[in-house]
Structure 1
């Protein structure tokens, strides 16, 4: 029994084995869950194999600001090949789709001249689109923000370009709502952090990817599982993975060794203190239905 002042405990599980029979479909985050941007985490490929052997359907869902083909290639380089999952969806793919076929009046009014904030590696978002790329905010109709060029950059490095875009009242499309990501053993800021600053400067932003509903609807269509109670989303972020799953009406499983590792004050791959985990969930406003220390069987 919990008092009103005590956050509800989050059920802790040692791995996916304890939960496998509860779900038919899994929506899996990539960074912080399957890999660290450099290599797959120990036990990940074995776990994916075991899920597939049991007939589970797996849709990978990443807030990577690149299209699916490029992300699939990167995964394959880490040993996570297409025979380990059924489908793949990215926020970059969702961004491309929204630019190609505007889902609303806001996107339809963007115009044709685009300024890209982000590295050349994300340029596939614009592939095949009738867009003129420009590098001067004065010449642009809108901005597509895919993130930082180098993983050691900070918001301060982008303050000038963000202020210039805001001064020209350019609408911004954000291709990755994440604020931070784990790269190896370090944290790097993401496009979501730049977009958040842009909103502070008065800019108008639309986001594609988790935790926003459209990308989950795409995953549900791909999985083809009607009963939402039989689908679980596995991720390492309260703000995107848990919030997105909760809003979409499916269970969320939090991997505690991802971006919240320091906050939970635990060693990688080990269970956090239950009280600290409950407090972190309560503080975020997003409570997972369960937690695992890392994604393994």
Structure 2
């Protein structure tokens, strides 16, 4: 690699305070940024309090395959209450809305007999909208995929049902485009990984959530900030958070102690290697304006 080919290094700040004056609105990821699925990361609640005290508007945006009310309840149980943010939007809520009010012909043709791939905790995505839930792919007209039942499961555990659905050409609605998520100290696969496998099998999939444009438009409406140069998205994934922000025309800040931790840093909360960070961004094709080791002031 020549000097001209060397990826441009990205600025790394200790925390959000180094960028706070640039933005009025913040779109914040949850898993890997605010919490690990079990508890908030150190400094998160203090940072949210400081953003609010500075008059910043905060919209939480999660690819959680559940509706906003259940995610709000889960966050409150961790100590992240509605007092810490202005708005919340989830991929599960977006999925629910698309099932109620189909945004296109593909969704309108789904029918009413739904097979759910995912745990019972995600059922609010499709409840109370007049669907007939079925257990057998032979009885279904479409699939709602919210992810795995147990965090130790693999793609292989789901191949039989995915193949059975693909054999019937059932369309799949994916309520979480994420491939993996940090749960405590380990990685678990998400609905996006199952959806990718389904596409490999020839299945047709529509995704709701990051990095797709409709969910960002919802956040812009909620924030009510018309100058998009004054809005930033903060997340831990090049593929969803940074890509979604880039496509939506807003800046992105990458948290390097999330799903890219092993690739970019030696330990949680440590500054990433600048060359590794630049190379990873260039390889992904999704470029943040800066990075922070973890979400703190």
TM-score band, normalised by shorter chain: over 0.9
Which piece of structure 1 moves more, 261-270 or 75-84?
261-270
Moved more, 123-132 or 234-243: 123-132
Secondary structure of the residue aligned to 1:5 is coil
Partner of 1:250: 250
SS in 2 for 1:50: helix
Question: What is the CA–CA distance in structure 2 between the aligned matches of 1:79 and 1:265, rounded to whole Å?
Answer: 28
Normalised by the length of structure 1, the TM-score is 0.99
Q: What do you get for the CA RMSD once the two structures are aligned? A: 0.7
Matched, 1:70 2:70: yes
**Counterparts of residues 45-194 of structure 1 (less than 5 Å):** 45-194=45-194
Report the Cα distance in structure 1 between the residues aligned to 2:71 and 2:175, rounded to whole angstroms: 14
What is the aligned residue count?
296
Q: Which runs of 4+ in 1 moved over 6 A?
A: none
- Equivalent residues of 2:256, 2:265 under 8 A apart: no
> What's the CA shift for 1:156?
0.2
- Alpha-carbon offset, residue 283 of structure 1: 1.0
In 1, Cα distance between the equivalents of 2:101 and 2:3?
Answer: 50
Which residue number in structure 2 is paired with residue 205 of structure 1?
Answer: 205
Provide the C-alpha distance between the structure 1 equivalents of 2:30 and 2:122, rounded to a whole number of angstroms.
17
Mapped contact 2:25–2:232 kept (Cα < 8 A): yes
Q: Secondary structure at the match of 2:14?
A: coil
Query: In structure 2, how many angstroms separate the alpha carbons of the residues matched to 1:5 and 1:135?
Result: 53
SS at match of 1:121: helix
CA distance in 1, matches of 2:245, 2:16: 17
**Structure 1 residue 265, shift from structure 2 partner:** 3.6
| Structure 2 unpaired stretches of 5+ | none
Report the 3-state secondary structure (helix = DSSP H, G, I; strand = E; otherwise coil) of the residue aligned with 2:163: helix
What do residues 225-255 of structure 1 show as CA deviations (whole Å, max 9, x unaligned)?
A: 0000000000000000000000000000000
Q: Distance in 2 between matches of 1:100 and 1:287?
A: 35
